[in-house]
């Protein structure tokens, strides 16, 4: 049981380190931003810099901020989100669940579809005995991302032949950070699968994005660190003045509500292993409530009209969702596995084991947690 009075005292002791005022750092970051935006030599030097930080590519002026046009009220969005029950070592069974929620929302299509919204969830139960890799949290995460990408490719099936401009919206990142710096087996197994799925989106001309709420990325703000350090990466003391500034913090002072940044290209090591057309590009958007990060494949980023339309859709979805894309909020509700669902999963697992006269070695700790005490 949590001792709330002790908790309150602990929080009081840390209040100044938890809630840090970085407004001064953000003002300095904005000033440096305009300096590098007007430095004709900065871009080339940034590309050539040998840095352990991820720094992006870009083609348009850094100080160009684009006002997003209102979306025409006739489009569809297909949201995909996933959740999971990781393998429980106390259950004695290498079995786990990935639950994927999908939501189709249609606007301006009255009378064309049987319903303006279609909500569904699809459980995927897997056994570690059927997998070529050892079951782990990383493996489950990798499988969840694969299943989410697969689910997005089925978007047109839910439209039932109705012609509407359609955008698939995923939650999280398209950069596959969960494979970066992982063991070779996991990377070698899943990266080719992801690439094939991304290429199918391109081949079938399915527009897709991934949205990140409250992003912690520093790719763009790393450009400011290069400038402050005069490209001397080891000169830490020179860029400590903005060490808490993330991309979101930077653009919160640069963008007005309803604006987006230019498009940047990701240069992470994992991205180098992807074909050029499906490498990840991104831009930041001021939704009115937060700075969100929108990631898109390069083949979409090459078309300015598509970028503008996507930005309009995302802004409209965030407006309808009070700051967060409503299609993702609804997909999350379909995907989320709550405590009672988790208990039911393990109860059903035990029941199925008994039906085939198998014994499951649930530990006494697991049994104790699930026992109802009176």
**pLDDT per position as a tens digit, 26-63:** 999 999 999 999 999 999 999 999 888 889 999 999 99
Q: Select from 21, 22, 59, 62 the least CA-distant residue to 224.
A: 62
Q: Given this model, what pLDDT does residue 371 score? A: 53
Q: Given this model, what pLDDT does residue 373 score? A: 42
State the DSSP code for 363: -
Q: pLDDT tens digit string along 305-352? A: 999 999 999 999 999 999 999 999 999 999 999 888 777 887 787 777
pLDDT band (50, 70, 90) for residue 76? very high
Q: Select from 186, 185, 166, 167 the least CA-distant residue to 176.
A: 186
- Report the predicted TM-score, pTM, of the whole model to 2 decimal places: 0.90
**DSSP secondary structure string for all residues of 305-331:** HHHHHHHHHHHHHHHHTTTS-HHHHHH
d(CA 181, CA 187): 9
The domains located in the chain, with CATH, are 69-211+263-342 (3.30.420)
Q: Between these two residues, 119 and 345, which has the higher pLDDT value?
A: 119
Q: Select from 312, 262, 257 the least CA-distant residue to 286.
A: 257
- Across 251-260, average pLDDT: 98
Q: Provide the H-helix boundaries in 244-303.
A: 247-254, 298-301
Residue 80 and residue 101 in contact, taking contact as beta carbons nearer than 8 Å = yes
What is the number of helices (H) and of strands (E) in the chain? Answer: 14, 11
Q: Given this model, what pLDDT does residue 48 score? A: 92
d(CA 212, CA 171): 6
Task: Give me the sign of the Cα torsion angle 183, 189, 191, 194.
Answer: negative
If you average pLDDT over every residue of the chain, what do you get?
89
Find tokens 């660190």 and name the residue. Answer: 225
d(CA 351, CA 345): 10
pLDDT band (50, 70, 90) for residue 92? low
Task: Give me the sign of the Cα torsion angle 269, 270, 276, 281.
Answer: negative
pLDDT band (50, 70, 90) for residue 356? low
Whether 191 has a pLDDT exceeding 70, the answer reads yes
* pLDDT over 90 percentage in the chain: 64
Query: In degrees rounded to 5, what are phi and psi of residue 327?
Result: -65, -35
Q: Select from 23, 194, 158 the least CA-distant residue to 78.
A: 158
Task: Give me the sign of the Cα torsion angle 239, 244, 250, 253.
Answer: negative
List of residues 6+ apart from 17 with CB closer than 8 A: none
List of residues 6+ apart from 63 with CB closer than 8 A: 33, 34, 37, 38
Q: Which two tokens stand for residue 28?
A: 């300095």
């Amino acid at each position: 049981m949590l001792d709330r009075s002790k908790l309150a005292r602990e929080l009081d002791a840390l209040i100044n380190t938890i809630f840090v005022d970085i407004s001064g750092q953000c003002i300095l970051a904005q000033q440096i931003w305009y300096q590098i935006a007007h430095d004709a030599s900065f871009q080339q030097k940034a590309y050539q810099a040998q840095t352990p930080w991820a720094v992006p590519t870009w083609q348009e002026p850094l100080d160009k901020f684009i006002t997003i046009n209102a979306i025409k009220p006739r489009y569809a969005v297909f949201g995909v989100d996933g959740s999971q029950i990781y393998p429980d070592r106390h259950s004695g069974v290498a079995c786990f669940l990935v639950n994927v929620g999908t939501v189709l929302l249609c606007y301006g299509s009255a009378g064309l579809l049987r319903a303006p919204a279609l909500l569904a969830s699809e459980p995927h139960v897997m056994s570690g005995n059927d997998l070529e890799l050892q079951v782990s949290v990383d493996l489950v995460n990798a499988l969840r991302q694969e299943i989410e990408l697969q689910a997005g490719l089925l978007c047109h099936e839910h439209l039932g032949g109705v012609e509407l401009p359609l955008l698939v919206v995923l939650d999280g990142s398209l950069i596959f950070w969960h494979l970066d710096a992982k063991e070779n087996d996991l990377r070698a197994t899943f990266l080719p699968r992801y690439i094939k799925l991304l290429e199918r989106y391109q081949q079938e001309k399915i527009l897709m994005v991934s949205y990140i709420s409250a992003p912690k990325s520093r790719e763009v703000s790393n450009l400011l660190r290069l400038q402050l350090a005069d490209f001397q990466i080891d000169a830490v003391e020179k860029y400590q003045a903005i060490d808490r500034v993330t991309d979101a913090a930077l653009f919160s002072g640069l963008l007005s509500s309803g604006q987006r940044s230019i498009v940047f290209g990701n240069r992470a090591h994992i991205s180098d292993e992807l074909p050029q057309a499906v490498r990840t590009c991104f831009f930041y958007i001021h939704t009115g409530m937060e700075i969100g990060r929108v990631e898109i494949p390069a083949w979409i980023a090459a078309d300015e009209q598509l970028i503008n339309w996507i930005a309009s859709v995302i802004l409209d979805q965030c407006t309808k969702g009070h700051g967060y894309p409503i299609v993702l909020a609804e997909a999350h509700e379909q995907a989320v596995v709550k405590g009672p669902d988790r208990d039911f999963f393990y109860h059903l697992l035990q029941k199925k084991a008994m039906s085939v006269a198998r014994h499951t070695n649930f530990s006494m700790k697991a049994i104790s947690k699930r026992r109802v005490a009176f």
